[in-house]
Structure 1
Amino acid sequence: MTTTILFDPLAPWPFITVLFGMVLCSLGLSLWRGLSGWALRTFAALVVLAALTGPVIQQEEREHLDDIVFVVEDRSASQKLGNRDEAVSQAAASLKEQLTARPNTELREITVGDGANNSGTGIMQALSDAMAEAPKGRIAGAILLSDGQVHDLDRASDMPAPIHLLHTGKQGDWDRRLTIDNAPAFAILGEEITMTLRIDDLGAGPDGADKVPLEVSIDGDTPQQFEVSTGTDIELPLILPHGGRNVLQFSTPAVDGELTDRNNSIVVQINGVRDRLSVLLVSGEPHPGGRTWRNLLKSDSSVDLVHFTILRPPEKQDGVPVSELSLIAFPTRELFLEKIDDFDLIIFDRYKRRGILPSLYLDNVRNYVEGGGAVLIAAGPDFASAESIYRTPLADVIPARPTVRIFEEAYRPQVSELGQRHPVTAGLEQEFEGEWGHWLRHIDLEAERGDTLMTGVDDRPLLVLDHVGEGRVALLGSDHAWLWHRGYEGGGPQLELLRRLAHWLMKEPELEEETLWAEAAGQKLRIIRRSLENAVGQVVVTTPSGEMQSLALSETAPGQFEAQFEGPEIGLYRLENGDHTAVIGLGPAAPIEFDETLASTELLEPIIKQSTGGIMALEDGLPRLRDVRAGRPAAGRGWIGLTPRNAYETKSVTQIPLLPAWLMLLLSTLLLTGAWLYEGRR
């Protein structure tokens, strides 16, 4: 209960001031003239003036509020190093015991973990959020238990009380860190990229460690060994070995005594893309579909097309001089002998033997396929004749043999049961709305090897794909795919089919029929196995720490099996399913929590000094708690201070008039009557 005197004037204060001045003037005049009764009249006037000021006695019933002290525990990944986490737990328990025993004190504990999306330790944001939920007039201080590596200093709020840092660092801490700069997300195949690598020994590192070993591996293969210098930038040139995702791991062995080996290894994932695709298109007898192939390839700006069209075969004798038919002779020797390996894809569109390409050249094309090249054959009526390209050395790589039959009738191409599982034709029906249009010609084929993905008349092979040596061959048993392009009977998915064919032939990873890969989303892995088989076994996942776990794969679409896996840690994961393997890096290439592992006070020092707080090491012992006045230094040798706020909450307020009106009237009347009687007696 507290009591105060307040004034609630019955008239404006300027009016009361004027009356008070008039009383003083009257008093002066009475004293100058020597009038009797001046004292009683003056007291009567003062009583009236006091009544006009309206004095009241205010009584408040107050409830004292506890001071709020924040204890922030840093439980981020960097606090798991050494015995930091244990030191924080012990300090937090001791502080809780002291603050609980402290009178008029409320403890509010805040736990801070790793930030989302590799954003680091967000102590300032957590403290600001807690302050927003507490009245500023009750905050007596904040104690941070951390290594001082804070990543959200821009979120700091003004603190009305001292902030203290009790850091978990120790004398003699050191760590070896590997970093890589300017690692691109994409790189062009065949072109050299340069990354900058650096190895640093932070803190009290070992003596004589000027050279350290470095291991570099690609896609989990046997690593290459190097010796590199510490403390210097190393330019690392690199050419990606294949298209698609390339997983590169750089690591240096752990050394006894360092804080952690988590930053001794970095996983970088770079997608290899082709700059320009070189395609050789060899057209035989001109036909309506020839322009379709040319338009398709020319519409892609990433394709360099060389088109070889036979307009005048040698057997045609019309008397026109050769010099008037062409400006230069076509460089067949250069294309098919000297520079054939420069092409990513060779397309034979209704080509037949006419003596222009000798068997030696076609035999070189066969060697080109077996060595890793790709050939697509779009067969026309000539493919079933005696001059068929099948009657050349290319027969060794063509997956289907032509018969003498040619079906000149309408039919709709159908995706075979195997084709429903193959990535080239899987889901092709969904790429085109409505029913596919008819084709009007089908070259009869007998598949000798490979995979038949599409069928035509009487379910006979229409599209056959095959692996030959290191290369690939595709055979399309019709020259009427252009009907879809022209919109005949509504058309069909011609562009998508030909695009997938070209990409499969050029070994694009997303169109491999037998493959294993994974996609990462946060700490979750989506493992995907594509196969032409009806069932696949389990996939074995090997974590960065070497633990192995088997997962069952379930079929989610024809030919596609999937499994979900929650990765327990950041690093390189290896996947195995039979003969198929894959690697994937989970988490950021360089986790921010392990970028700076040594405890630091530099980041928080400006904020702590501004709040008059202090910085101390937990290895020196837990400091004592003291009360300090606001604005005074709040830290000293072996102690830290908290500012008592003396906050309270008013429960009720009672006001009683100090001078009741009847009493004031009676008192003023008695004084005036006394003055009158006194003057009358005189």
Structure 2
Amino acid sequence: MTGEIVFDPLLPWPAIWVLGALALVSVALALWRGMPGWALRLCAGLVLVAALTQPSFQEEDRAPLSDIVLLLEDQSASQRLGDRVETTASAADALEARLAARPNTEVRRIAVPDGEGDSGTLLMTALSEALAEEPRGRVAGIFLLSDGRLHDLERAPTLPAPMHLLLTGHDTDWDRRLIVKNAPAFAILGEPVTLTLRVEDDGAAPRESETELQISVDGGAAETFRVPLGQDIELPVTLPHGGLNVIQFSVPEGAGELTDRNNTALVQINGVRDRLRVLLVSGEPHAGSRTWRNLLKSDSSVDLVHFTILRPPEKQDGVPVTELSLIAFPTRELFLEKIEDFDLIIFDRYKRRGILPAIYLDNVRNYVENGGAVLVAAGPDFASADSIYRSPLAEILPAEPTARVIDQGYRPKVTDLGQRHPVTAGLTGADSWGRWMRQVEVTPNESAEVLMTGAEEKPLLVLDRIGEGRAALIASDQAWLWSRGFEGGGPQLDLLRRLAHWMMKEPELEEEALWAEATGQRMQIIRRTLADGVGAVTITRPDGTEDSVTLQEVSPGRFEAGYAGPEIGLYRLKEGEQEAVIGLGPAAPREFEQTIASATALEPVLASLRGGAARIEDGLPSIRAVGAGRPAAGRGWMGITPREAFETMDVTRLPLLPAWLTLLLAAGFIVGAWLREGRR
């Protein structure tokens, strides 16, 4: 029970002070004039002014409340290293028992697991949420059992009581980690990209000046190098192929090292071509030449060299050669000296007319067999005796002309195989495509693939692989009708661009491919094939165990399945002869970037209310009660601040000047003053 006098004024306090001042002035005037009743006047004025303040005696029935101590137990991944789990659990049990044994004290024990994804240890977030659930006026202390490696320090709340840190780990702990400081998302094929790596030792590490660094690409054989410790390493890397390249760097685990989870780094870089060099040879000017030129020039990654034969050798028009402004066709330079510089050669309505000798065309054949690409857009001349097929190129072309030219309107149609092939897959709306008016009848090779048909269901688009290279034939020169919008046009831009990029071996247009797209620790496995079905994909985890995943067909020739990786690291995928690798999450998660226990990050927060830090291995500190603002930690002890909080159960008020008493006193003093002054 506690009591106090409280006031509930009838008027604002300034008005009461003014009335009190007037009463004092009147009493002073009576004293100056020698009136004997001044003292009674003073008492009457005081009673009236006091009555205006309505004084009361308030008595409260209070129930004391216990102090609350928050005990946060770090259970993140870095706390599972060494003996930290057992150390933390036993220390938390002992500290909870000590705190609970203190009078009027409650303990709130809070486990702090890993944050979602790779967000790390969120100690301050957990502390903020715990403080939001408790009355801050009852929180007497906060204890953190952790390695001090947290990742949300910026969310530290304003503390109502001292906070202390009990560090796990040992003074003898040491760890070696591999850091990749810069890794681009894209790199140009054939040009080295410089990565900056660093190998660092933390804690009580042995004195070594260098270590081994192993590098592997796409899970292949690793190369080993000796690298210095504690220094930035500039490492030039040339990507071996286009598309996704997964590069793994690792250093061996040292004797007594705390963990090897941060000894590996995964870098995923997409290999892209700098410039795709294309040679376009037009046999004669025609409406389709501009279509090819506009298509290739619209792609900023294509470097186009275009020649149109305007004046063949047999043309006799009487114009002196010295007066011609035409550029001579540099046949020797293009087809002997620099042919290997091109990624694709396009013959657009070209026919044999003595400009390219057989030896040059034979060199083109060798170029394709060694990995080059040739595309023929056939006009009527392809079916004539001057056809380019009647040359050494016959060995690499995917179809043979029958000498028949079909002059009739037809709508190109994608074949069943074409619906699966990445060049023509997804080209829908064939019923609304505009017609083409001419087609050369051809007979495909046994190994060729017919993706589109035209008039009389004859092959229109034929592809083939020749040695290391590729060849394609469009058995018509009418694609330009689509670009002009004839009868609604058609997808000539998508078709011709995909065709050109397939011939230049762009990875995303391969017919048989297996790859995965990662999002966090999930991957979407994608298998593309020309076959009717595929087998299950075998997934090899980072620890060597295997899983089998069945794919479902989502569109013709495309099979997909989702997979959640149970751990972070490098995964290998295999289905038939197709293999792929993918990295899920960082090879060294945020929890393992720094693993040596340290109070450095938390020192500013601890110092705000004079809290302290100590190692558990040095023994649990004793608990003391300290006043607010006093040092809360010392050698072998840590303090909590008793809050002396209470809950008011009942409140009783007794007026000190009730109305009847005020009237009686005031009237008595006024009458007494009047009688005394009147008698005199």
Q: TM-score range by the shorter chain?
A: over 0.9
Give the conservation status (yes or no) of the 8 Å contact 2:27–2:38.
Answer: no
Q: Name the structure 2 match of 1:163.
A: 163
Equivalence for 2:289: 290
Question: 1:530·1:561 contact (CA, 8 Å) conserved in 2?
Answer: yes
Q: Provide the secondary structure at the position in 2 that maps to 1:429.
A: coil
Which stretch shifts more, 393-402 or 97-106? 97-106
Deviation at 1:506, TM superposition (A): 0.9
* Residue 17 of structure 2, aligned match among 6, 13, 19: 13
State the 1:486 CA deviation: 0.8
| Other structure's SS at 1:160 match | coil
Give the match's secondary structure for 1:418: helix
Deviations 1:114-146 (A, max 9, x none): 445644333223323433444332222221122
Shift of 1:258: 0.8
Partner residue, 1:539: 537
Distance 1:76 1:319 in 2: 89
Taking structure 1 as reference, are residues 493 and 49 closer, same or farther at Cα in structure 2, changes over 3 Å only?
Answer: closer
Higher mean displacement: 49-58 or 539-548: 49-58
Q: How does 1:78-117 map to 2 (within 5 A)?
A: 78-116=78-116
Offset of 1:347 from its aligned partner?
0.4
CA distance in 2, matches of 1:40, 1:325: 135
Deviation at 1:679, TM superposition (A): 10
1:640 to 1:345, Cα distance in 2 relative to 1, 3 A: same
Corresponding residue for residue 74 of structure 1: 74
Give 1:615's match in structure 2, choosing from 595, 613, 616: 613
Residues in 1 aligned to 2:651 and 2:307: alpha-carbon distance in whole angstroms: 102
Cα distance in 1 between the residues matched to 2:38 and 2:354: 147
Verify the 8 A CA contact 1:243 1:273 in the aligned structure 2: yes
2:147 paired residue number: 147
Closer, same or farther: CA 309–16 of 1 in aligned 2, 3 Å: same
Paired residue total: 675
The separation in 1 between residues aligned to 2:673 and 2:489, in whole angstroms, is 123
- More moved, 294-303 vs 223-232: 294-303
Q: CA, structure 1 residues 24+143, in 2 after alignment: closer, same or farther (shift >3 Å)?
A: farther
Say which SS state the counterpart of residue 360 (structure 1) adopts. Answer: helix
The 2-side partners of 1:474 and 1:573 are apart by 36
Distance change in 2, residues 1:678/1:309 (3 Å) = closer
SS in 1 for 2:660: helix
Give deviations 1:204-231, integer Å, cap 9, x for gaps: 1123x32311111111111111111212
Q: Who is 1:130 aligned against?
A: 130
The range that moved more, 671-680 or 599-608, is 671-680
Distance 1:590 1:61 in 2: 60
Q: How does 1:502-521 map onto structure 2 within 5 Å?
A: 502-521=500-519
SS of the residue 1:420 aligns to: helix
- 1:360 corresponds to which letter in structure 2? I
Matched, 1:437 2:441: no
TM-score normalized by structure 1? 0.93
Q: Is the 8 A contact 2:379 2:475 kept in 1?
A: yes
Which whole-Å deviations, capped at 9, do the CAs of 1:353-376 have from their partners, x for residues lacking one?
112111111111111111111111
Describe how 1:223-262 pairs up with structure 2 within 5 A: 223-262=222-261
Q: 1:225 to 1:675 in 2, by over 3 A?
A: closer
| Superposed counterparts of 1:150-229, under 5 Å | 150-207=150-207, 209-229=208-228
User: What amino acid sits opposite 2:631 in the alignment?
Assistant: P
Code of the residue aligned with 1:224 in structure 2: it is E
Give CA-to-partner distance per residue, 1:137-182, whole Å, 9 cap, x none: 2222221122112222222222121011111131111111111222
Tell whether the 8 Å contact from 1:541 to 1:574 is kept in structure 2 after alignment.
yes
Query: Structure 1 residues 457, 8: closer, same or farther in 2, change over 3 A?
Result: closer
Amino acid at match of 1:440: M
Q: Does the 8 A contact of 1:169 with 1:600 survive in 2? A: no
TM-superposed CA distance for 1:23, in Å, is 4.8
For residue 93 of structure 2, give the secondary structure of its aligned residue in structure 1.
helix
Q: CA deviation at 1:581?
A: 0.6
Deviation for aligned residue 1:566: 0.5
Alpha-carbon displacement from aligned partner over 1:558-604 (angstroms, at most 9, x marks no partner): 10111111111111111111111101111136533222221111111
Maintained 8 Å contact 2:23/2:42: no
How far residue 413 of structure 1 moved from its aligned partner, in angstroms, is 0.6
Q: Which runs of 5+ in 1 are unaligned?
A: none
1:239 is displaced (CA, Å) by 1.3
Aligned residues: CA RMSD: 2.6
Q: Compute the displacement of 1:608 (Å).
A: 0.6
CA distance in 2, matches of 1:134, 1:25: 61
Structure 1 residues 681 and 364: CA distance shift in structure 2, 3 A: closer
Q: Tell me how far apart the structure 2 counterparts of residues 343 and 39 of structure 1 sit (CA, whole Å).
A: 120
- Contact 1:347–1:377 (CA under 8 A) maintained in structure 2: yes
Deviation at 1:29, TM superposition (A): 7.6
* Secondary structure in structure 2 of the residue aligned to 1:629: coil
The match for 2:638 among 637, 640, 643 is: 640
Distance in 2, matches of 1:350 and 1:200, equals 63
State the one-letter code of the partner of 2:467. Answer: G
- Which residue, 502, 523, 534 being the options, matches 1:525? 523
Of 579-588 and 16-25, more deviation after overlay is shown by: 16-25
Match of 1:321 in 2: 320
Looking at structure 1, the residues matched to 385 and 71 of structure 2 have their Cα atoms a distance apart, in angstroms, of 90
Q: 2:340 is aligned with what amino acid?
A: D
| 1:281–1:307 CA contact under 8 A, matched in 2 | yes
The aligned amino acid for 1:423 is: P
Are positions 1:280 and 2:279 aligned together? yes
Task: Give the TM-score normalised by the residue count of structure 2.
Answer: 0.93
Match of 1:352 in 2: 351
Q: Secondary structure at the match of 2:356?
A: coil
Cα separation, partners in 2 of 1:486 and 1:19, compared to 1, 3 Å: same
Aligned to 1:559: 557
Give the counterpart of 1:588 among 586, 589, 592.
586
**Residues 20, 49 of structure 1: 8 Å contact kept:** no
Q: Hey, what does 2:388 align to over in structure 1?
A: 389
State the distance in 2 between where 1:25 and 1:107 align: 67
- TM superposition shift of 1:326: 4.5
Contact 1:296-1:495 within 8 A present in 2 as well: yes
Q: 1:674 to 1:410 in 2, by over 3 A?
A: closer
Q: What does the per-residue CA deviation read over 1:321-343, in whole Å, with 9 as the maximum and x for residues that have no partner?
A: 33333555322111111111100
Tell me what 2:54 maps to: 54
Shift of 1:344: 0.7
Moved more, 632-641 or 487-496: 632-641
SS of equivalent to 1:576: strand
Distance 1:82 1:29, change over 3 A: farther
Look up the match of 1:484. 482
Which stretch shifts more, 356-365 or 325-334?
325-334
Structure 2 SS opposite 1:632: coil
Cα distance in structure 1, aligned partners of 2:144 and 2:134: 17
Kept in 1: contact 2:418–2:452 (CA 8 A) = yes
The residue aligned with 1:378 is: 377
Measure the CA separation in 2 of the matches of 1:299 and 1:41: 106
Structure-2 change in CA distance of 1:399 and 1:674 (3 Å): closer
When residues 493 and 677 of structure 1 are mapped into structure 2, their CA distance, relative to the original with a 3 A threshold, is closer
Paired-residue identity, %: 64
Cα separation, 1, equivalents of 2:593 and 2:368: 48
Alpha-carbon separation, structure 1, partners of 2:537 and 2:248:
22
Counterpart Cα distance in 2 of 1:29 and 1:392: 143
Between the aligned partners of 1:24 and 1:248, the Cα distance in structure 2 is: 99
Greater CA drift, 485-494 or 247-256: 247-256
Cα distance 1:259–1:28, how it changes in 2: closer, same or farther (>3 A)?
A: farther
Q: 1:365: which partner in 2?
A: 364
Q: In 1, distance between residues paired with 2:49 and 2:551?
A: 96
Cα distance between partner residues in 2 of 1:602 and 1:657? 59
Mapped partners of 1:278, 1:677: distance in 2:
125
How far residue 240 of structure 1 moved from its aligned partner, in angstroms, is: 1.2
